Structure 1
Amino acid sequence: MTFSTNFLNNPLCLLLAAVLSLAGCAGVEPGTPPLTIIALETAQQGSPVARRGALHWTVTTSGGQGTVVYEVQAQQAGIERLLYADALGTGSWTPKEPGRYRLKVVVVDEAGTVVDSGWSDEYAYSPLFNRDSLYALLPVQNLSDFNAPLYDIHTVLRARLRSRGFQLLDPALLEDFMAKYRMRHTGGLSRHLSQKMQEELGVDGVFITSLETWQEEIPPRVSLFIRVISTGSQPEVIWIDSVGLTGDDAPGLLGLGRIKNSRLLLSNALEKLLDSYQSYLAGRSPEYLHTGGQPKLQQVGTDVGSEDGFVETIQPRRQSQLLLVNAESATAGGVIKANKPRHQPQFSYRASTFDPTRQYTVAVIPFLNINTRKHAGDIVALHVVRQLHRYANLRVFEPGLVRQTLLRYRMIMQAGPSLAASDILTGESILDADLIVSGKVFDYQGATGESKADFSIQIFDGAKREIIWASRSYATGDQGVYFFDWGRVPSAHGLISKMTEAVVKLLEE
């Protein structure tokens, strides 16, 4: 086969060939070496303990075009999660939960070139607490509307903890400490008291118990929260769970499964809560995390840097999926299941600029009561803290620390946090919260009869000074139930738990 070269003698054809050649080279900088990862260096900083030690990384690259973006991923038990995506090639990450972790860095340049460092060596992080840790058990906080046997509940809980091998501070020493520092509030821990407990008593963790519901009349009802707080200069919520039980939860055939004794119901509730805490210590606690994949390239326009006022750059947009790990492990309220439509908020808004995969610190302030029972705002706030704590990318401040800040600066928020109050809560030298969660409770019924709940939630981004989430939720325990009470939620605790879970999942998806 032969080809004719007569077109080379035509000047017009030569000009066309030159134009096509230049067009094919457009966007490619001549002589630019390809993007390459030279080395990924990783090392542990501090003690190999979750929430205390850090995992440091530095990645060195060469070549590539324009701005280079680094996406850092962590792997635990074969599951990848997204940690970080920015133009900095070095940083540190503190694991929130115990486990064995590896790091990987994916690098992208403006030409769309993607290079992968591969996984680093594995690093182990142990739980903050173990069998030798010393705990203080604070008196029970009463958030119910009734007189409850708080001392008896405290005594039973103490006996159950000791029977499971937990080391507890002598009650006399704790009583002297509370008298010395005039500690009256037992529903949280301030920074000052947390540090003094560690220094003077040698306490590692503190059990805080909040009683939500107590009813001895048949059918009895018991609802309570328990959380464990670390001591020191920065008290943290290490674990939190709750349970709400009624005597009619599982009546069975001819009502033989009904429980009529409130003390038996309390015993069952405490067993479920302590089983949940031991599951956490064993590294089997359910947790939501954002899994990471290869970056998806997206063209982003800017209005500076070119003759026509428009430049196209390519930045990585992270592809992630919300995954529940240890899904087979039960919380105190049972195995986590998919949310039902009737528990979803009636209205919700999430700002388009909000990135749910980022790492955030979160302050939850007590919700406002609007014509409802006493302490309803504190109860719903605790439900929100429990749900947020379950997400790997969120660090929720200890409610006692938030309360201390509100009292210190004499902040009274009758209509939610103002910009001035938000500036205080997000200030680097004060609380340094990224997100502030507030809300209002319009209805809370569950001591007797049908359970009802009606509340709103608002989340404020301190850095952007804008509302990134707003929702309104309303439901009843009998809603959507038509045959034999199947699917009925008898307690307000169970109802609010499902409703707040649905809200937080919509926020993070």
Structure 2
Amino acid sequence: MICSSSSSSSRLGWRGAVVVVAALVACRHGQRPMPAPFKLAVFPVQNASGGTAPIRPLTEALDAALGARGLEVVPRGNLDAVLAQHRMRFTGGVDRPMAKVLREELGVDAMLVPTLEQHVADAPPKIAMGVRLVGTGERPVVLWADAVARSGNDAPGLLARGLVTSSGELDRTVVAEVARRVEAYVSKGAAGDSCGDAGRFQPRRVFRAPVLDDVGRRSIAVLPFINDTPRRSASDVILGQFVAQLARSGSFEVLDPGFVREELLGHRIVLEGGVSVDNAMALLSLLNADLVLSGYVRQYVGGQGAPRVEFTAYVLDRRTQELVWSSSSLGEGNDGVFFFGAGRVHTASALSCRMVRGVVDHIVGRRGPLGPAD
């Protein structure tokens, strides 16, 4: 449990509320709170790689890796049976009915939602997996998120001895690292590594309204991005990375995309061609959120060349009904690389993650971590 987390009690229900009180007392006395019992369920790996991928083996490997680390995980058969009983087929996020069922029938504190963002089997192989933990409280919000991206030629070393040519070997490495980071969060509250600082991958153009510094604007919903690329699911990757980076910033309460999807479907709101101001305001009211973020993905190129990513993002404010953020980002894996390939980014997922980190850092600005609710 993290000392700076302010809204975990609403995220985890009564069981989490007791834990949060103890954590706050410990934090005030400079002590690390003891890990609390934490039961999680794991959705099947979602395929946003843009092509075919070994989803079932990856899911089974993730189950085994989490179990090997001693985490209390609902057996997959039990989870599948409950979801089938309630006819819940969507496993890309957590909505309110699903959160209620998982909490009451399986005693789940949080859902782990893994997403395969990139998978290239040809040598050198590439794989990227993002994960987020979503609370099963009355209002499903993202508790924690992280991502791991690896390429077989990340560290070839002398005479290419470190070159990884087996896709299966790289898959196992990434799954093991994902499980390690989940366990580190559950047991120690570790934030995780994600993709590092944005560095040279800052947005090219930025508009930011001063109202974003208002810490009273607590909650944010990320709507589906419009995919203007030929690469299937590119918009899903960018959406997931914005959700993850906003949650990691500690400056916002981030609504899970499953919760947002529930309201879109329930009120038949169609976002073809982009998000209108009227639709955005209606959604903010339905979700009881302060801000809404969306945008367009213009380019998303991965594969076996230098990755290239381009996207725009904007944020609308519920109170003023005005645009409070706008940016455009364009980056290549070879940007800023001059000597012997040092600093080259090999995967589109890692590149876009760092670019999204740059946008979110600017959005957060001087807000600082989220404080206790008023």
**TM-score computed with the length of structure 1 as normaliser:** 0.65
Pick one of 121, 132, 136 that aligns with 1:227. Answer: 132
1:340 counterpart residue number: 199
Other-structure match for 2:222: 364
Q: Which residue of 2 aligns with 1:373?
A: 231
Q: Deviations over 1:214-246 (max 9, x none)?
A: 121111111111111222322221111111111
Contact 2:251 / 2:364 at 8 angstroms: preserved in 1? no
Asked if 1:218 is matched to 2:123, the reply is yes
8 A contact 1:190–1:400 mirrored in 2: yes
Asked whether the 8 Å contact 2:217–2:291 carries over to 1, the reply is: no
Secondary structure of the corresponding residue to residue 455 of structure 1: strand
Q: Select the residue among 65, 72, 94 that pairs with 1:167.
A: 72
| Structure in which a larger fraction of residues adopt strand | 1
Alpha-carbon deviation of 1:473?
A: 0.3
Distance of 1:261 and 1:366 partners within structure 2: 34
CA 1:490/1:356 → structure 2, altered by over 3 Å: closer, same or farther?
Answer: farther
Task: Single out whichever of 255-264 and 228-237 deviates more from structure 2.
Answer: 228-237
- Cα displacement string for residues 143-166 of structure 1 (whole angstroms, at most 9, x for unaligned residues): 112211111111111111111111
Q: Distance in 2 between matches of 1:365 and 1:96?
A: 33
Cα deviation 1:123-175 (Å, max 9, x = unaligned): 98958x73x43221211111112211111111111111111111221222222
**Alignment-derived partner of residue 450 in structure 1:** 306
3-state SS of the aligned residue for 2:213? coil
Change (3 A) 1:269 1:238: same
| Secondary structure of the corresponding residue to residue 170 of structure 2 | helix
Deviations 1:168-195 (A, max 9, x none): 2122222222222222221111110110
CA distance in 2, matches of 1:210, 1:176: 22
Q: Equivalent of 1:404, from 262, 276, 280?
A: 262
Encode CA deviations 1:268-303: one digit per residue, 9 max, x unaligned. Answer: 2122222322332344534xxxxxxxxxxxxxxxxx
1:423 equivalent in alignment to 2:281: yes
Q: 1:331 aligns with which of 174, 179, 193?
A: 193
The amino acid that maps onto 1:490 is: H
Deviations 1:21-49 (A, max 9, x none): xxxxxxxxxxxxxxxxxxxxxxxxxxx99
Larger gyration radius, structure 1 or structure 2: 1
Match of 2:295 in 1: 439
Quick check: 2:10–2:138 contact (8 Å CA) kept in 1?
no
The answer to whether the Cα contact below 8 Å between 1:101 and 1:122 also exists between their aligned partners in 2 is yes
* Partner Cα separation in structure 1 for residue 22 and residue 283 of structure 2: 25
Give the structure 1 partner of residue 332 of structure 2: 476
2:350 corresponds to 1:494: yes
Quick one: structure 1 residues 53 and 194, their matched pair in 2 at CA, closer, same or farther if it must change by over 3 Å? closer
**Aligned match of 1:209:** 114
Deviates more, 1:161-170 or 1:457-466: 161-170
Is the alpha carbon distance of 1:96 and 1:489 closer, same or farther for their aligned partners in structure 2, counting shifts above 3 Å?
A: farther
**Structure 1 residue 204, shift from structure 2 partner:** 2.0
Rounded Cα–Cα distance in structure 2 between residues aligned with 1:453 and 1:352: 28
Q: Which of the residues 31, 42, 51 maps onto 2:8?
A: 51
Aligned partners of 1:50 and 1:126 also within 8 Å = no
Measured in 2, the distance between the counterparts of 1:96 and 1:379 equals: 35
Summarize the alignment of residues 251-400 of structure 1 with structure 2, pairs less than 5 Å apart.
251-283=156-188, 285-286=190-191, 331-333=193-195, 336-337=196-197, 339-341=198-200, 343-355=201-213, 357-400=215-258
Q: Distance in 1 between matches of 2:189 and 2:102?
A: 29
User: Contact between 2:10 and 2:139, CA under 8 Å: does it hold in 1?
Assistant: no
Change (3 A) 1:396 1:408: same
Alpha carbons 1:380, 1:496 under 8 Å: kept? yes
How big is each residue's C-alpha offset from its partner over 1:92-119, in whole Å with a ceiling of 9 and x where there is no partner?
xx979955578xxxxxxxxxxxxxxxxx
Q: Is the 8 A contact 2:153 2:164 kept in 1?
A: yes
CA RMSD after TM alignment:
2.6
Would you say how many aligned residue pairs link Structure 1 and Structure 2? 354
Measured in 2, the distance between the counterparts of 1:458 and 1:53 equals: 28
Match for residue 369 of structure 2? Answer: none
CA contact (8 A) 1:50 1:98 kept: no
Gaps of 5+ in 1: 1-47, 55-93, 103-120, 287-329
Asked whether the equivalents of residues 357 and 508 of structure 1 are also in contact (C-alpha less than 8 Å), the reply is no
Does the residue aligned with 1:274 lie in a helix, a strand or coil? Answer: helix
Distance (Å, rounded) in 1 between the aligned partners of 2:303 and 2:138: 39
Q: CA deviation at 1:261?
A: 1.3
Counterpart of 1:51, as a letter, is S
Q: Which residue number in structure 1 is paired with residue 14 of structure 2?
A: none
- If asked which structure has higher relative contact order (CA below 8 Å, sep 6+), I would say 2
Answer yes or no: is the 8 Å Cα contact 2:62–2:179 preserved in 1. Answer: no
Per the normalisation by structure 2, the TM-score is 0.87
Distance 2:238 2:214 in 1: 22
3-state SS of paired residue (1:390): helix
Measured against aligned partners, the alpha-carbon deviations of 1:308-339 in whole angstroms (never above 9, x if no partner) come to xxxxxxxxxxxxxxxxxxxxxx5154xx34x3
Given that 2:69 and 2:180 are in contact with CA atoms closer than 8 Å, whether structure 1 keeps it comes out as no
Which whole-Å CA distance do the structure 2 matches of 1:53 and 1:436 have between them?
21
SS in 1 for 2:131: strand
**Closer, same or farther: CA 332–480 of 1 in aligned 2, 3 Å:** closer
Once residues 306 and 104 of structure 2 are traced to their aligned partners in structure 1, the CA distance between those partners, rounded to angstroms, is 48
Unaligned runs of 5+ in 2: 12-18, 366-374
Is the CA contact 2:62–2:176 (under 8 Å) kept in the aligned structure 1?
Answer: no
Compute the displacement of 1:404 (Å). Answer: 0.9
Instruction: List aligned pairs for 1:129-168, cutoff 5 A.
Output: 130=36, 132-168=37-73
- Show the counterpart of 1:294: none
- Tell me the amino acid that sits aligned with residue 340 of structure 1: G
